[in-house]
Amino acid sequence: MKNPVTVASGTFGYGQEYDRYFDVSRLGAVTTKSLSLEPRAGNKPPRIVETPAGMLNAIGLQNVGLEAYLRDKAPYLRGKGVPVIANIVGRTPEEYAELARRLEAADAADAIEANLSCPNVHDAKRARGARIVSQSPEAVGRFTEAIVSATRLPVFVKLTPNVLDIAEPALAAQEAGATGVSLINTLIGMAIDPETRRPRLANVVGGLSGPAIRPVAVKMVWDAARALDIPIIGMGGIATAADAIEFLLAGARAVAVGCISFRQPDAAVQIVDGIADYLVRHGISDVNELVGAVEV
Ligand SMILES: Cc1cc2nc3c(=O)[nH]c(=O)nc-3n(C[C@H](O)[C@H](O)[C@H](O)COP(=O)(O)O)c2cc1C
């Protein structure tokens, strides 16, 4: 990455959608929407609710599926010459492994980001609730091993913040051979309309993102950075260069700009420029000097 800024999966489509706002090759990398083997239609609407300083979403992993991605979407990003982080989602370790293998074989990605923040079908049956894969360090290890052994591409494991101690799944990813971890996915939340007494999302619950979650995300990056030797891509509520620098100081090696792009489509490139200005203002020649440099 020529700069430490990428975009958060699911908030930037497959890159081309933002073409008319700025040249996406100015980013350190483009991260795709989660890709599954088959296309997915996602959940019924309403699937987005605005909340104070953020939003709840229950998109339900709608995506075009791997084949259409390789045919219709990847050539655009490859033509731009920008590094591509392909975010993948599956039901089993084998599905993740197949996605990684086929993305590498088609030369359609420079790195894999495995979204392990979705419900675990097998655990859900046992626990009768929506258990998330990365809530179990054992499952993180199992899924990560399968992906890492299927590809030579760098593998980043994206973790849910809906846990007591983020260091546990993060360490499990490291031990299983992950190149790095991506923190954080959304915090599970719910909103109810008092007039109708109905949940505002058709899916009832959804994922909270936006500036409201930033302090939680910064703290989780800080916790994980002290436990890990591998790099962290930090995200959660980044809206400005100053927000991005918070994550670097907490220990992230790169950052991802998420749902702020819905309100300000060129936010990510503004943040690239803002970080460069900050480095000049502070006489810093290498952005890596900021990584973990918080003085506690
Ligand atoms: C509408 C929407 C869709 C998302 N879809 C995905 C997804 O497909 N895969 C994934 O790993 N994360 C997904 N996320 C989570 C984001 O990548 C990110 O981790 C989270 O939103 C926190 O960053 P933010 O507060 O800057 O948006 C989605 C978030 C939003 C708001």
DSSP 135: G
pLDDT reported for residue 200? 98
48 lies in a domain? no
pLDDT reported for residue 126? 54
Residue 291: name the closest of 256, 254, 258 by CA: 254
Answer whether 8 contacts ligand 1 (Cβ < 6 A): yes
The pick from 259, 263, 271 for probing ligand 1's pocket by mutation, whose C-beta has the most ligand atoms within 8 angstroms, reads: 259
Q: Print the domain residue range for 223.
A: 5-43+60-186+208-290
Rg (CA), the chain: 18
- 231 within 8 A of 221, measured Cβ to Cβ: no
The pick from 186, 235, 243 for probing ligand 1's pocket by mutation, whose C-beta has the most ligand atoms within 8 angstroms, reads: 186
pLDDT reported for residue 204? 94
* Locus of tokens 């229950």: 58
Residue 187: name the closest of 212, 169, 156 by CA: 212
36 lies in a domain? yes
Residue 234: name the closest of 208, 269, 258, 207 by CA: 258
Answer whether 186 contacts ligand 1 (Cβ < 6 A): yes
Rounded CA-CA distance 135/120 in Å is 9
Residue 61: name the closest of 161, 237, 185 by CA: 185
Nearest C-alpha to atom 12 of ligand 1 is from which residue?
Answer: 9
- 74 within 8 A of 83, measured Cβ to Cβ: no
User: From the CA of 281, how far away is ligand 1's center (Å)?
Assistant: 32
User: From the CA of 257, how far away is ligand 1's center (Å)?
Assistant: 9
Which residue is catalytic, options 29, 66, 116, 118? 118
User: From the CA of 11, how far away is ligand 1's center (Å)?
Assistant: 6
pLDDT reported for residue 123? 57
Q: Edge-to-edge, what's the strand order for the sheet holding 187-190? A: 48-51, 54-57, 205-209, 187-190
Index of the ligand 1 atom closest to the CA of residue 8: 17
Residue 118 annotated in active site: yes
116 lies in a domain? yes
Domain with residue 245: its CATH number is 3.20.20.70
Answer whether 160 contacts ligand 1 (Cβ < 6 A): no
pLDDT reported for residue 121? 57
pLDDT reported for residue 125? 55
pLDDT reported for residue 131? 83
Rounded CA-CA distance 236/217 in Å is 6
94 lies in a domain? yes
Index of the ligand 1 atom closest to the CA of residue 113: 11
pLDDT reported for residue 65? 98
Residue 59: name the closest of 70, 50, 73, 48 by CA: 48
DSSP 228: -
52 lies in a domain? no
Residues sharing a CB contact under 8 Å with residue 192, sequence separation 6 or more, in sequence order = 198, 199, 200
Report the number of distinct structural domains present in the chain. 1
The secondary structure of 36-56 as a DSSP string is -SS-B--PPSP-EEEETTEEE
> What are the per-10-residue average pLDDT scores of the chain (296 residues)?
98 96 98 97 95 96 97 97 98 97 98 88 55 94 98 98 97 98 96 98 95 98 98 98 98 98 98 98 98 98
Answer whether 213 contacts ligand 1 (Cβ < 6 A): yes
175: left (phi over 0), alpha (psi -120 to 50) or beta: alpha
131 lies in a domain? yes
User: What are the structure tokens assigned to 87, written together?
Assistant: 């975010």
Residue 242: name the closest of 222, 250, 207, 289 by CA: 250
279 lies in a domain? yes
34 lies in a domain? yes
